[in-house]
Amino acid sequence: MTKLVIHPELIEDPQILIDICPFGAMELTDEGLSINAACKMCKLCVRKGPKGAVTVEEDAVKPSVDKSLWKGTAVYVDHVDGVIHPVTYELIGKAREMAEVIHQPVYALLLGNNVEKQAHELLHYGVDEVHVYDYPQLARFEIEPYTAAFTDFIEKVHPSSILTGATTVGRQLAPRVAARMKTGLTADCTILKMEENTDLSQIRPAFGGNIMAHIKTPNNRPQMATVRYKIMNAPEWSEEESGTIIEQSIDPKKLTSHVEVLDIVKKPKEKMIENADVLVVAGRGIKKPEDLAMLEELAELLGGQIACTRPLVEAGVLPANCQIGLSGRTVRPKLIITCGVSGAIQFTAGMNNAETIVAINTDASAPIFKTASYGLVGDLYDVIPELISKVKEQRKAYV
């Protein structure tokens, strides 16, 4: 890590450095001149201050781990009551691609109770080993026992990389496990690239999607990443099972939890935009909330759902679970029709993997047309009613 070092013997008047710092990070304390947390590392004090008074120093990089002791890619099997979340299969697909580069195995880590059926199901997706911790204490997700079993697996198997879905469970579990293992964790990766030396390039949008951050953990193992649902491709289900199931054991005392679950109240089933095959998206081109009715009608006719851009959520027109994009949901429908959406990167990052993208916008130079498979330059107030009547006509023709 880079740090600043103050050399008091070279400073005659501390006020000079205090005045140079534009962020108020230089301060005079009882111990002398020091740098506080407001420092932005702009290094003005180094360049403009008395010569040598403040220097930049790098902490020695700790010796690399012995990478030869860490092998394979593990995928955490995300499930609730035995129903495996589809992100698990998508991660297995990615892990298999990565395995081809390094010629190392793909593991699945399954924590639960009475999960034999699920373990076998995983063998239809090309996993080399399914490691199962089958204990009553793991019947439902609870952070302490799950963390204990997860870390036990890492200590025994030494996987070089670990992929976890960025689900409600994964987002709680992965950081805790990473902290236990004193390793890094990159959240919400959109691209993962395995290098031949087993270093994993973890790539994700940063600063509102304006840059793609490339993150590596070259001095630590395991390398941990979470990935959102619908980013990677799941492999085909194969008729034949392949790979082996390994029953892991752990001292049950390690699976105790300090959380007492008094009751479980099921939420009413949400219609998730992530699961829709067809989405009709409302953007700021919609003038009044009442006008959403025509988009809803089109969505219903096509057997789909309505979604929106962030400004509509901020205006309270639609709920947050309808928002597509970087700070919303990632979707991958068969068909998406955007209506009055400009196509900001923060929006398109959440939908550009859709199979067919149709964009309706009055402005021919709107960026959404760069992402769209089909573009309709026109007023949505003319185009949508026309589309609705065309779909209805087609329907009649088939009845």
Ligand X SMILES: Cc1cc2nc3c(=O)[nH]c(=O)nc-3n(C[C@H](O)[C@H](O)[C@H](O)COP(=O)(O)OP(=O)(O)OC[C@H]3O[C@@H](n4cnc5c(N)ncnc54)[C@H](O)[C@@H]3O)c2cc1C
268: closest CA among 321, 312, 305, 229? 321
| Separation of alpha carbons 55 and 355, rounded Å | 54
**Structure-block tokens of residue 372:** 């769209």
Strand order in the sheet with 335-339: 305-308, 278-282, 335-339, 356-361, 374-377
Instruction: Kindly state whether residue 27 participates in binding ligand SF4, applying the rule CB under 6 A.
Output: no
Q: Identify the residue among 169, 194, 307, 326 touching ligand X (CB under 6 A).
A: 326
| Separation of alpha carbons 214 and 221, rounded Å | 17
Give the 3-state secondary structure of residue 113: coil
| Separation of alpha carbons 317 and 266, rounded Å | 27
Instruction: Kindly state whether residue 342 participates in binding ligand X, applying the rule CB under 6 A.
Output: yes
* Contact in structure between 137 and 131 (CB atoms under 8 Å): no
| Orientation of helix 292-301 relative to helix 380-398, angle to 10° | 30
Instruction: Kindly state whether residue 43 participates in binding ligand SF4, applying the rule CB under 6 A.
Output: yes
Q: Which is nearer to ligand SF4, 35 or 286 (CB)?
A: 35
Give the 3-state secondary structure of residue 122: helix
Instruction: Kindly state whether residue 40 participates in binding ligand SF4, applying the rule CB under 6 A.
Output: yes
Q: Which is nearer to ligand SF4, 17 or 169 (CB)?
A: 17
Q: Identify the residue among 10, 28, 41, 315 touching ligand SF4 (CB under 6 A).
A: 41
Binding partner at 342 among ligand X, ligand SF4, none, C-beta below 5 to 8 Å by kind: ligand X
Binding partner at 360 among ligand X, ligand SF4, none, C-beta below 5 to 8 Å by kind: ligand X
> CB-side exposure of 339: number of CA atoms within 13 Å?
27
Binding mask 223-262 for ligand X (x = CB under 6 A): ----------------------------------------
Give the 3-state secondary structure of residue 100: helix
Residue 148 carries which side chain, given as an amino acid letter? A
Q: Taking the complex as a whole, how short is the minimal distance between the CB of residue 210 and ligand SF4, in angstroms? A: 23
Instruction: Kindly state whether residue 361 participates in binding ligand X, applying the rule CB under 6 A.
Output: yes
368: closest CA among 389, 398, 399, 347? 347
Interface stretch with ligand SF4, choices 18-26, 118-126, 130-138, 346-354 (CB under 6 A): 18-26
Instruction: Kindly state whether residue 321 participates in binding ligand X, applying the rule CB under 6 A.
Output: no
Binding partner at 76 among ligand X, ligand SF4, none, C-beta below 5 to 8 Å by kind: none
Interface stretch with ligand X, choices 28-36, 62-70, 240-248, 379-387 (CB under 6 A): 379-387
Interface stretch with ligand X, choices 88-96, 131-139, 162-170, 354-362 (CB under 6 A): 354-362
Q: Identify the residue among 347, 357, 359, 372 touching ligand X (CB under 6 A).
A: 347
Instruction: Kindly state whether residue 26 participates in binding ligand SF4, applying the rule CB under 6 A.
Output: yes
**Structure-block tokens of residue 225:** 């990443």
Pairing of the two strands 73-76 and 223-227: unpaired
| Separation of alpha carbons 42 and 207, rounded Å | 18
Residue 183 carries which side chain, given as an amino acid letter? T
Q: Taking the complex as a whole, how short is the minimal distance between the CB of residue 324 and ligand X, in angstroms? A: 6
Instruction: Kindly state whether residue 208 participates in binding ligand X, applying the rule CB under 6 A.
Output: yes
| Separation of alpha carbons 206 and 142, rounded Å | 31
Instruction: Kindly state whether residue 126 participates in binding ligand X, applying the rule CB under 6 A.
Output: no
Q: Contact positions toward ligand SF4, by CB under 6 A?
A: 4, 20-21, 23, 25-26, 35, 39-45
Q: Contact positions toward ligand X, by CB under 6 A?
A: 208, 283-285, 309-311, 323-328, 340-342, 344, 346-347, 350, 360-363, 366, 379-381
